[in-house]
């Protein structure tokens, strides 16, 4: 099951049972779970003791005019009610605690797996859909584990025990009540099928609504800049209306089912009272047996009704669980090696006949690319937009795994290094520095949480950014807020570079970010990048040829292939792709200025 088509996921009873079983296996406190099961069984037995006590009281107390039997039976009945109430409270508390603990573990496992998935996964999946998995889907499961599952299992147990007791009390009465069971089973099967599809649609619509909400909030600046507030609200309104329609469809199915179920129970009870009266008149059964039978019949129909009401919740929770497990079951493209090797501090960085495509049904984004970087060399990747520069850089950072070929450092394939070892020695700095809510110091320490304040300052000093950061209102303790909104683009980029400097990596992969900075900040960022590059192998995605000119060599990527590689002067002399790009760039400078 893939997430792309999870709208089509349809769990039957067996499928729901399987995902619930899987959730059960995740429960850490099995002992308490078994104890809760025992309490549940005892509570069911005490619940069903009531009608038998009432029947006995009528036969041996009321009809026999035996006050002692009435007193004893009344006392036993009261004790039974008290015991049932206490057991119910105990089982609810126990199951809720076990369920919440299990959900906590599941939530942690899901988030942990998400953090280990490759960028390809996040390229395919909408953020809002993933947020729905972590929020609304867990809410649906929480409703189930808190009380729904207890009620469902308890009523299932009550139904089975009541069925056996009814057959024991009177076969003629049982035969009459059994006549209505086949239609009810058929009706319940219909409700099961229709409600399953309806609630899966509801879950899918919730995911789409959250996706629209997330995109609207994340892109609010663009929306307001182009005056598209009304169109965005209309889009959200359409998704919201679709969610409303899905919910109303689910409700309409319940409206058709439950009145028929309730009416069937009333008609059956009336028929049983008529037949029971006749049997009592002919002394086939006692009055107490008929009364107990009718009460047990309620214990038969009430569980059917409650389980039917809960079935939609169980289906909704099962669908939510299946989607969560679909993410957990998504394999990582970069699994940890079984026999990891230590990444050397120095060595040649080699891309050997590497090809890559994002999906098997898509054309190659890169085809048969080979290049070699000597340790300490600075290589610039240039080429037209969409040529494959960023894709190649992501492969070299092992954010994606190549479809063909190998990538090595120091003669060892990157896949043979653990993720921790690789990303402690190979750092990729994105075009826009992403900052988390917190202080500047905390954001720099993201690369090395155990780093001291002195180490953070030394990292800033090494890239020449300490003075700029200390000039912030609170220096290193300045709160940057979400996405670093308190800092300028250049300051955010300097924090990102300081993270890399803190780890002192062997390899740097930089996505040039100076094109959207003001000249003063751009100069500071360029100096920081140059300082950070000293004594390291550096791959820079150059969006401007002035950056490429400062590299030791330039690799020109065109149409997914390595078109040319060499120094600035060598490539100009070849009069090929790079020479044409450089001529166009110079013409642009002459026309519009720097």
Q: What is the pLDDT of residues 520-546, one digit of tens each?
A: 666 777 788 788 788 889 999 988 788
**Weakest mean pLDDT among 64-68, 102-106, 322-326, 390-394:** 64-68
Question: How far from chain centre, in Å, is Cα 10?
Answer: 19
pLDDT digits (tens, 9 = 90+) for 130-155: 887 888 788 878 877 766 667 777 77
Q: CB within 8 A of 472, min separation 6: which ones?
A: 440, 478, 487, 491
**pLDDT: which is higher, 367 or 291:** 367
Residue 4 confidence class, pLDDT cut points 50, 70, 90? very low
Segment 22-50 mean pLDDT: 79
pTM confidence score: 0.66
Question: What pLDDT score was predicted for residue 11?
Answer: 55
User: Residue 14's pLDDT band (boundaries 50, 70, 90)?
Assistant: low
Answer whether 440's CB lies under 8 Å from 472's CB.
Answer: yes
CA pair distance 94, 89, nearest whole angstrom:
9
Tokens for 356, please give them.
């890559």
More confident position, 464 or 195 = 464
**pLDDT confidence of residue 354:** 94
Per-residue confidence at 1, pLDDT binned at 50, 70, 90?
Answer: very low
Return the percentage of the chain with pLDDT > 90, whole number.
Answer: 15
Instruction: Look at residue 185 and tell me whether its pLDDT is greater than 50.
Output: yes
The closest of 454, 84, 90 to 299, measured between CA atoms, is 84
Angle between helices 127-134 and 136-143 (to 10 degrees): 20
Q: Which of 197, 189, 148 is nearest to 319 (CA)?
A: 197
* pLDDT tens digits, one per residue of 412-449: 999 999 888 988 889 888 877 778 878 888 888 888 88
Would you list the domain boundaries of the chain?
Answer: 13-328, 349-592
Rg (CA), the chain: 35
For residue 61, what is the DSSP state? I
**pLDDT, mean over the chain:** 82
pLDDT at 340 over 60: yes
- pLDDT tier for residue 60 given thresholds of 50, 70 and 90: confident
Place 395 in a pLDDT band, splitting at 50, 70 and 90: very high
What is the bridge-based pairing of β-strands 404-409 and 378-382?
A: unpaired
% of the chain residues with pLDDT over 70: 92
Spatial separation of the C-alpha atoms in residues 392 and 456, rounded to whole Å: 31
Worst-scoring range by mean pLDDT, 230-239, 244-253, 287-296? 287-296
DSSP code of 446?
G
* pLDDT exceeds 50 at position 6: no
Q: What is the DSSP string of 264-329?
A: HHHHHHHHHHHHHHHHHHTTSS-HHHHHHHHHHHHHHHHHHHHHHHHHHHHHHHHHHHHHHHHHHT
Whole-number pLDDT of residue 280: 83
499 pLDDT tier (thresholds 50, 70, 90): confident
CATH of domain 349-592: 3.40.50.300
- What pLDDT does 8 receive? 41
561-566 β-sheet, strand order: 426-429, 507-511, 537-541, 378-382, 553-558, 561-566
CATH domain 13-328 topology: ABC transporter transmembrane region fold (1.20.1560)
Q: State the average pLDDT over residues 485-489.
A: 75
């Amino acid at each position: 099951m893939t997430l792309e088509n999870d709208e089509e996921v349809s769990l039957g009873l067996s499928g729901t049972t399987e995902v619930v079983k899987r959730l059960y296996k995740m429960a850490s406190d099995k002992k308490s779970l078994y104890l809760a099961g025992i309490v549940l069984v005892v509570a069911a037995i005490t619940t069903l003791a009531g009608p038998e006590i009432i029947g006995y009281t009528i036969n041996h107390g009321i009809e026999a005019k035996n006050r002692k039997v009435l007193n004893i039976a009344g006392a036993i009945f009261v004790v039974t009610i008290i015991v049932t109430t206490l057991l119910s409270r105990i089982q609810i508390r126990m199951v809720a605690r076990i369920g919440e603990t299990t959900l906590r573990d599941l939530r942690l496992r899901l988030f942990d797996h998400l953090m280990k998935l490759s960028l390809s996964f996040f390229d395919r999946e909408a953020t809002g859909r993933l947020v729905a998995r972590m929020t609304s889907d867990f809410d649906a499961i929480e409703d189930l584990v808190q009380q729904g599952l207890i009620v469902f299992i308890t009523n299932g147990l009550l139904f089975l025990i009541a069925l056996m007791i009814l057959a024991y009390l009177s076969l003629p009465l049982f035969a009459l009540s059994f006549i209505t069971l086949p239609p009810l089973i058929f009706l319940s099967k219909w409700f099961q099928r229709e409600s399953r599809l309806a609630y899966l649609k509801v879950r899918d619509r919730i995911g789409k609504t959250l996706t629209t909400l997330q995109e609207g909030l994340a892109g609010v600046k663009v929306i307001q800049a182009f005056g598209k507030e009304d169109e965005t609200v209309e889009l959200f309104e359409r998704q919201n209306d679709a969610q409303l329609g899905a919910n109303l469809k689910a409700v309409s199915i319940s409206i058709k089912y439950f009145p028929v179920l309730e009416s069937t129970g009333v008609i059956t009870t009336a028929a049983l009272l008529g037949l029971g009266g006749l049997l009592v008149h002919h002394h086939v059964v006692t009055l107490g047996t008929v009364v107990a039978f009718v009460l047990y019949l309620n214990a038969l129909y009430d569980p059917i009704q409650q389980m039917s009401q809960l079935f939609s919740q169980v289906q909704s929770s099962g669908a939510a669980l299946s989607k969560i497990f679909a993410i957990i079951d998504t394999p990582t493209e970069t699994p940890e090696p079984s026999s990891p090797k230590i990444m050397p501090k120095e060595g040649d960085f080699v891309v050997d006949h590497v090809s890559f495509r994002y999906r098997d049904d898509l054309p190659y984004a890169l085809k048969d690319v080979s290049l070699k970087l000597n340790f300490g060399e600075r290589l610039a990747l240039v080429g037209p937009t969409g040529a494959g520069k960023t894709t190649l850089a992501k492969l070299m950072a092992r954010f994606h795994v190549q479809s063909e070929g190998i990538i090595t450092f120091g003669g060892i394939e990157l896949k043979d290094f653990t993720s921790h070892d690789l990303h402690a020695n190979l750092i990729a700095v994105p075009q826009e520095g992403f900052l988390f809510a917190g202080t500047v110091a905390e954001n720099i320490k993201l690369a090395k949480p155990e780093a001291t304040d002195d180490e953070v300052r030394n990292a800033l000093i090494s890239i020449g950014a300490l003075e700029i950061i200390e000039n912030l209102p609170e220096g290193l303790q300045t709160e940057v807020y979400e996405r670093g909104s308190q800092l300028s683009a250049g300051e955010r980029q300097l924090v990102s570079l300081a993270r890399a400097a803190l780890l002192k990596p062997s390899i740097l992969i930089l996505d040039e970010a100076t094109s959207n900075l003001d000249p003063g900040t751009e100069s500071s960022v360029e100096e920081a990048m140059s300082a950070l590059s000293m004594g390291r192998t550096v791959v820079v995605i150059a969006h401007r040829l002035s950056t490429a000119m400062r590299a030791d060599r330039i690799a020109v990527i065109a149409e997914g292939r390595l078109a040319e590689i060499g120094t600035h002067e060598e490539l100009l002399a070849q009069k090929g792709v790079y020479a044409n790009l450089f001529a166009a760039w110079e013409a642009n400078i002459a026309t519009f200025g720097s």
